[in-house]
Structure 1
Amino acid sequence: MKKIISCLFALVFTSAFSQTFNAKKLDSLFLLLEKNNKYMGSIALSENGKTIYTKSIGFDDVATSKKSSINTKYRIGSISKTFTAALIFKAIEENKITLNQTIDKYFPTVKNAKTITISNLLNHRSGIHDFTNDDDYLTWNTQYQSKAKMIERIAAGEIAFEPNTKGQYSNSNYVLLSFVLEDIYKKPFGEILNLKIVTPLKLKNTYLGKKTNIANNECYSYTAENGKWKKESETDMSIPLGAGAIVSNPTDLNLFFEGLFAGKIVSIDHLNQMKTAQDKFGMGLFEFPYYEKKNYGHTGGIDGFKSVAGYFPNEKLALALTSNGLDYDNNNILLCALNSYFNKPFTMPVFGSVAVSPEILDLYSGTYGSTQIPIKITISKKDNTLIAQATGQPSFPLEATTTKVFKFDVAGIVLEFNSDKKEMILKQGGQEFLFTK
């Protein structure tokens, strides 16, 4: 949560596939990332229920140089929502709740509670204000918040739209679903999670998080700052609950998704409801297409943690990636992992920069548009560094790899300029888009 971070342009990988796993390719990438202090995290791939690759690099605690391992546990952020959605459907199967019932019984003070349904919460069609967008959120997110206080904060927000008229992501939806579960089971959310998912699937490293405990193989999170890792503050886990407070690791996440898609948590009919998207939102699941292949999963971000997990039903392939520090794009690591599995080429990153004169940088400044995608990108110069900013998104610095090619590793973006033609090529996720000034 703490402002969930995703790829700036949210582009889709475009690789075709085959079936031979190349572990050396993925090993080489992690070696390169570790050598250049670009990434801290862990990955696991599982095929037909069997782990075929795991890797971990970085530190649980940078200050004490405590190395991470495949047993390190991470805050998984919004991947927690898939667990929560599964728990809701479990409650439906136990006749404790229905998709179409309204939430006024549980939250009479929430605006439109008499028309918002459980279904609307699940697929982000409630119109309920997202409390993480509050201007003061980062002033209280590290402090304990009671259930009553969280409901008060959520209820205080203005409605974003009328219920079920469109979809818009809101963490508030899944915090409220957590409280619904606690009401109907008369247990804390963490106990429900253990009873309904963790114990049946024999997950050894998954639970509702508390304050980070390094002695329990948990890790702190970090952001990259001038080539060094800066420790992030910790969101108090009383706040996100089922929207983002679960702790896990890649091996357990793969077991969870395999169990979910095998019908071990909820029925296949209910799984299909979770998968069905409306305005791009499923019920606790997103669909990530790879040409004809389909992968269902979720991403997560909380504090300095970034994660992604998903499942390819046809290939019976589960893949999870968790990070507690990154100065390189998670999507590029996933692309390398998938191309390693499906035997496709992957170009290794090149780290390091070159000096470019201010006169050349001035040639690239301006606003660029494309007929291929509906965004504009403004390029400017600050302290002899190129700055890029896409429509409606934060600006970010570009690093020169040649006098014409610039990159932003965190989002896997490469920009190539041709000042003579007043053109710029955006490369990301295996795709290229032509922009004209």
Structure 2
Amino acid sequence: MIAQALAMPWTTEPGSEFVYSNTNYAILGRIIAEQDGKTIGQSLQDRIFDPLDMTATTYPIDAAIADNALHGYVLENGTYTDVTAFDASIWSSGAAVVSTVGDLNTFFRGLFDGTLIPQNLIDEMQVVTPSTYGLGLLLGGDACNPGSAELVFGNRGNGFGYRTYAFSSPDGQRQVSLAWTTAGANPAADPLEQPAAEALIAGLTSTCPA
């Protein structure tokens, strides 16, 4: 994957504009694995999953998935295809983790309350940029403070048959994660995108302090 990406021509000068690339996360995973002297999956287990007690979260190395896992479907030309049994490791360290909405909430709570990293790094991750995408985080408006500068931070996941939204208040006090299992082949054309966004906003609103 990395070799193929490096063989492609640059479309923009580095640093000139925001362009998302999963390959950058694959490279980051290789760096972490090399520094730790173990696989990226074991590094994630030791650094994140175990300390946060994320018992329903794994970094898969094959197509095996829990028997009670939600089935993922792709909707294309009016036909739903079950795509649950595929090897998620094709996403490499860019997006291969298999988890639950509960563990997603646990992750963002642990990330922003200082359990995983010190506050100066949390602050750096939450710097607002014109692209609305920072160091691994997307930002959104806080439903509890409409019209203000209050924000929530998190990310969205796109895969074969699965989509997720997971956002948290900057201090880690409030989290909402949402997953759905029917998605269009093109995430931008997913017919459930708008209903999911509305459900996320409703969820964030329900967490507003009294």
TM-score, normalised by the number of residues in structure 2: 0.82
Alpha carbons of structure 1 residues 278 and 324: separation in structure 2 relative to 1, 3 Å? same
Tell me which moved more, 303-312 or 151-160: 151-160
Listed one character per residue, the Cα deviations across residues 172-225 of structure 1 (whole Å, up to 9, x for unaligned) are 11111111111111110100000001111111111112314242x333310346
| Match in the other structure for 2:135 | 283
Consecutive unaligned residues in structure 1, runs of 5 or more = 1-149, 344-437
Does the aligned pair in 1 maintain the 2:36–2:43 contact within 8 Å?
yes
| Match in the other structure for 1:333 | 199
Q: Which has the higher contact order (CA 8 A, sep 6+)?
A: 1
2:88 counterpart of 1:200: no
TM-score, normalised by the number of residues in structure 1: 0.41
Partner amino acid, structure 1, of 2:50:
T
Alpha carbons of structure 1 residues 153 and 270: separation in structure 2 relative to 1, 3 Å? same
- Structure of greater Rg: 1
Quick check: which one's helix share is greater? Answer: 2
Partner amino acid, structure 1, of 2:135:
M
- Tell me the secondary structure at the aligned position of residue 319 of structure 1: strand
Alpha carbons of structure 1 residues 235 and 172: separation in structure 2 relative to 1, 3 Å? farther
Q: 2-side partners of 1:214 and 1:198: how far apart? A: 17
- Tell me the secondary structure at the aligned position of residue 90 of structure 2: coil
Alpha carbons of structure 1 residues 165 and 224: separation in structure 2 relative to 1, 3 Å? closer
Alpha carbons of structure 1 residues 339 and 266: separation in structure 2 relative to 1, 3 Å? closer
2:28 counterpart of 1:177: yes
2:153 counterpart of 1:296: yes
Alpha carbons of structure 1 residues 183 and 333: separation in structure 2 relative to 1, 3 Å? same
- 1:336 CA displacement: 2.7
2:109 counterpart of 1:252: no
Q: How does 1:113-262 map to 2 (within 5 A)?
A: 150-209=1-60, 210-215=62-67, 217-224=68-75, 229-232=80-83, 236-262=87-113
Partner amino acid, structure 2, of 1:287:
L
- 1:338 CA displacement: 3.1
Listed one character per residue, the Cα deviations across residues 261-280 of structure 1 (whole Å, up to 9, x for unaligned) are 11111111011111113342
2:178 counterpart of 1:317: no
Q: 2-side partners of 1:261 and 1:153: how far apart? A: 35
Q: 2-side partners of 1:226 and 1:166: how far apart? A: 35
Q: How does 1:72-151 map to 2 (within 5 A)?
A: 150-151=1-2
Q: 2-side partners of 1:339 and 1:274: how far apart? A: 24
Alpha carbons of structure 1 residues 207 and 335: separation in structure 2 relative to 1, 3 Å? same
Partner amino acid, structure 2, of 1:337:
G
Consecutive unaligned residues in structure 2, runs of 5 or more = 184-190
Listed one character per residue, the Cα deviations across residues 238-284 of structure 1 (whole Å, up to 9, x for unaligned) are 33222110011111111111111111111110111111133422101
Partner amino acid, structure 1, of 2:167:
G
Does the aligned pair in 1 maintain the 2:166–2:178 contact within 8 Å?
yes
Does the aligned pair in 2 maintain the 1:297–1:311 contact within 8 Å?
yes
Listed one character per residue, the Cα deviations across residues 30-56 of structure 1 (whole Å, up to 9, x for unaligned) are xxxxxxxxxxxxxxxxxxxxxxxxxxx
Q: How does 1:356-395 map to 2 (within 5 A)?
A: none
Aligned pairs, number? 193
Listed one character per residue, the Cα deviations across residues 282-302 of structure 1 (whole Å, up to 9, x for unaligned) are 101111123323100001101
Q: Percent identity?
A: 26
